[in-house]
Amino acid sequence: MSSIEHPGEPLGNSLRGRLAAVVGRAQNTRTPTQTVIARAQGVHLWTADGRRLTDFTSGVLVANLGHAHARFEERYRHYCGSLPRTSYNATTPIEVEAAERLVASLNMPNAQKLFWAASGSEGVQKAMWAALHRQPDRPIIVATRGGFHGKKGLAADVSGESSTNPNVRFISFPLYEEKTPEFYRSELDALAAEFPNRIALLITEPYLGAKGSFHPPAWYHQLLQAWCKKHDVAFILDEVQSCHGRTGSMYAFQTYGIQPDLVVLGKGLANGEPAAAVVGRADLIDALDYGEASDTFSGNPHACAAICATLDVFDEQHIVAHCQTIAPVLRKKLLALKDTFPFVTHVRGEGLVYGVEIADADTANRCVLEAYRGTGKEGVHFLGPLAAKVLRVSPPLVITEKELDEAFAVLESAWRRV
């Protein structure tokens, strides 16, 4: 596989070439930049060749507290202490503390017990296993069309527009079109009539990220929840990319005014340590017996330490309140880009997660590249476009107005070259 090269990046070009020689191309998604990051601090990244970038990705909605956050790192070291690297088939005091605090943080009646997982897609699979085991005579799975829950197993089966799993059925999610609640209710009722007492679960995301950042009206999720309750269907909310403040609430189910039966948490849950969890009703969690949700790294002591450290910082530094304060600033600046550049066709989002839709895929990739090049010494870091032409804007939740001003000044200059 040939590697991407950028003018004036001798070290970065060398490292990209060396990586391509030993790591398969499928390991990474294709982007116009393939940035080589040598160090990070706060909301900034420094390339191997010394350029500074404002991080508009938070990794991939992971580093909600930014990079090398002093208080997080201090608390993380405190909790880690002399913990073992693994506690498989055992437990540690930090796991107990992390589990109790995480369940309590959801602050809803359905948050009673949890499973650990090492990644979001593993958490999705465990949530679905639990729902299927609770009612083994109900094999039918309902998912919202256009979602992304993972690349493997059941998580892959409920991602996208169609499925090879004969038990999966898809329903519509609000995109560009404006349809009435009755349209979506009719879809659900048709499935209930086709499969009476045969549907085990309905899984959705608060917003469709990979599809291009589509954020529904609150009534949509409330409608799904009411239908699930009526038909005794487990309502699973995949909050892997939205938990811990991203939508302007600690959890997106709070933003949308619902109480799911199971909530899948990941990405920002441990601020960069690989950790995920499924939190929800005890009867669903306990539907799985010993070993049926077991795996090597779930509940890892260091992951649990990172979860506790993250919760500490959110409490002490009022991270969600800051997100709520800075969110209107970000929205105003993104809408100004739409007014300035004709190739920006839509701006969609909430809190500190937005999708900026560009006129076409080639222009979207050019926007990513020119943002990276920026003014020479300064740039803005995006991932490759979602759904071919949507740029995700998801900076760390700790970003300040001054840092946004600086980043958007770079963007406005760079995108004039597009």
d(CA 188, CA 230): 11
What pairs with residue 168 in β-bridges? 141
Mean pLDDT to the nearest integer, 72-88 = 95
- Token pair in block for residue 43: 């909301």
C-alpha to C-alpha distances, 164 to 205, 345, 388, nearest whole angstrom? 21, 34, 24
Measured N-to-C along each axis, helices 361-373 and 401-414 cross at an angle, to the nearest 10 degrees, of: 120
- What digits encode the pLDDT tens for the residues 30-66? 899 999 999 999 999 999 999 999 999 999 999 999 9
* 130 CB neighbour count, 10 Å cutoff: 27
- Determine the residue type at 372: Y
Tokens 């596989």 locate to 1
Please give the pLDDT value at position 2: 67
**For the chain, what is the largest distance between any 2 Cα atoms, rounded to a whole number of angstroms?**
64
- What digits encode the pLDDT tens for the residues 337-379? 999 999 999 999 999 999 999 999 999 999 999 999 999 999 9
Say whether 139 sits in a helix, a strand or coil.
Answer: coil
Sign of CA dihedral 88, 94, 100, 103: negative
Fold of 10-61+318-417: Aspartate Aminotransferase, domain 1 (3.90.1150)
Domain locations in the chain as residue ranges = 10-61+318-417, 70-316
Mean pLDDT to the nearest integer, 61-72 = 97
- What digits encode the pLDDT tens for the residues 233-289? 999 999 999 999 999 999 999 999 999 999 999 999 999 999 999 999 999 999 999
- What digits encode the pLDDT tens for the residues 374-409? 999 999 999 999 999 999 999 999 999 999 999 999
Query: Does 3.40.640.10 match the CATH number of domain 70-316?
Result: yes
Please give the pLDDT value at position 79: 98
* 3 CB neighbour count, 10 Å cutoff: 16
According to DSSP, residue 28 is labeled S
d(CA 418, CA 410): 13
- Determine the residue type at 242: S
